[in-house]
Amino acid sequence: MDFDKTLQELPAYLREFFGKGTVASYIPALARVPAQKFGMALCRVAGPCHRVGDSEERFSIQSISKLFTLSLAMGRCGEELWRRVGREPSGNRFNSLVQLEYERGIPRNPFINAGAIVICDILLDHLPNPKETLRDYLRLLSGSFDIDFDQEVARSEAETGFINYALANFLKGNGNLHNAVEAVLDLYFHQCSLALSCSELARATVHLANAGVSPLLGEALLTGPQVKRLNSLMLTSGTYDAVGEFAYRVGLPAKSGVGGGIAAVLPGDYSVVVWSPELDPSGNSLAGGAALEYLTTVTGKSIF
Ligand code: GLU
């Protein structure tokens, strides 16, 4: 399989997709990212990593961080987690208040904002320093020990995060947050601010393509059943309110973020991360989705 050749074809193929989406603009640090950036990194479970474009430039991983907070919570909380968060696609906006009210403070899944906020609460219950644990987990997984929070992004998230405050207060009012709203959201806003490159994120997710064992560390980070669940949740809930369309076009479990990143895995074969800041109306990277569709179609390698 010539992944290098396919990746090198992408910049020309993607030209027609640029200029058709919108860069997230709710905070200045995201609004000023050049719209035409594009990078991809693909790490084989047994083999090298392939790269193209701006694959080494760090970007705001935003909701892709929900993968890592959920991984940490799964290892610590067990079945109790699933009494507080569901595992169905939401079919609604990622920050919907209406749905949370209908469903009495139990978020549909851990990848919508309300679900991720409950996961932060669980981490605060189980870890003395969850921010540091999360950052160090990503450093270990990626092998890049200078990965960090972007404090400007974290501050802006807090200054503009009125809907997240509403969600957290509603969760608290329904008894589904144990810790103070401010403390839970401080962790949530920091996780959104983590900055990694495509290469770093591809290394940090390759264990999800390898039954939980990092080929880089030679160590099990999650169990096989935990990875099966995480990947299933990505497939059913990882790409906002467009999961059906995304699965139809790409055929891989994936998690996206409003910074324009998408992390996807083909179990047994590879992890792949793409970054391009212009988003489609559902909040997924427009060129990123097109690039993944091209990759799985041309190589014939998807979970289906
Ligand atoms: N940080 C933003 C929020 O919490 C967006 C997260 C995302 O979906 O990437 O609303």
* Ligand 1 mutation target, pool 30, 94, 165, most atoms within 8 A of CB: 94
State yes or no: pLDDT of 1 exceeds 80: no
Active site residue 172: no
Catalytic residue, candidates 45, 153, 156, 188: 188
What is the model's pLDDT at position 78?
A: 85
Structural domains in the chain plus CATH codes: 3-299 (3.40.710.10)
In whole angstroms, what separates CA 294 from the centre of its chain? 20
The one-character DSSP state at 79 is G
State yes or no: pLDDT of 141 exceeds 90: yes
Model confidence pLDDT, tens digit, residues 270-291: 999 999 999 999 999 999 999 9
The alpha carbon of 261 and the centre of ligand 1 are apart by a number of angstroms equal to 12
The alpha carbon of 205 and the centre of ligand 1 are apart by a number of angstroms equal to 20
The alpha carbon of 83 and the centre of ligand 1 are apart by a number of angstroms equal to 24
Given phi > 0 = left and psi -120 to 50 = alpha, else beta, which region is 137? alpha
Catalytic residue, candidates 33, 52, 66, 71: 66
The one-character DSSP state at 245 is H
Cβ-contact 222, 212 below 8 angstroms: yes
The alpha carbon of 293 and the centre of ligand 1 are apart by a number of angstroms equal to 24
Active site residue 240: yes
- Average pLDDT over all residues of the chain: 96
Catalytic residue, candidates 23, 258, 273, 274: 258
What is the model's pLDDT at position 182?
A: 98
Model confidence pLDDT, tens digit, residues 171-208: 999 999 999 999 999 999 999 999 999 999 999 999 99
Model confidence at 91, in pLDDT bands (50, 70, 90)? confident
Active site residue 258: yes
Model confidence at 138, in pLDDT bands (50, 70, 90)? very high
Reduced to 3 states (helix: H, G, I; strand: E, B; else coil), residue 37 is coil
Model confidence at 165, in pLDDT bands (50, 70, 90)? very high
What is the model's pLDDT at position 47?
A: 85
Q: Where are the beta strands (DSSP E) in 153-295?
A: 194-196, 213-214, 219-220, 254-256, 261-266, 270-275, 278-279
Gap between the Cα atoms of 176 and 231, Å rounded: 25
Model confidence at 92, in pLDDT bands (50, 70, 90)? confident
Gap between the Cα atoms of 112 and 230, Å rounded: 14
* Ligand 1 mutation target, pool 92, 111, 150, 157, most atoms within 8 A of CB: 157
Model confidence pLDDT, tens digit, residues 64-84: 999 999 999 999 998 899 999
* Ligand 1 mutation target, pool 90, 92, 95, most atoms within 8 A of CB: 95
Active site residue 52: no
What is the model's pLDDT at position 247?
A: 97
Place of tokens 């999800």: 208
The pocket around ligand 1, CB under 6 angstroms, is made up of 62-63, 94-95, 113, 157, 164, 192, 257-258
Tokens representing 270 are 């590879």
Model confidence pLDDT, tens digit, residues 216-269: 899 999 999 999 999 999 999 999 999 999 999 999 999 999 999 999 999 999
Q: What is the pTM of this model?
A: 0.97
Atom of ligand 1 nearest to the CA of 157: 1
Cβ-contact 32, 20 below 8 angstroms: no
Cβ-contact 262, 247 below 8 angstroms: no
The alpha carbon of 271 and the centre of ligand 1 are apart by a number of angstroms equal to 23
What is the model's pLDDT at position 125?
A: 97
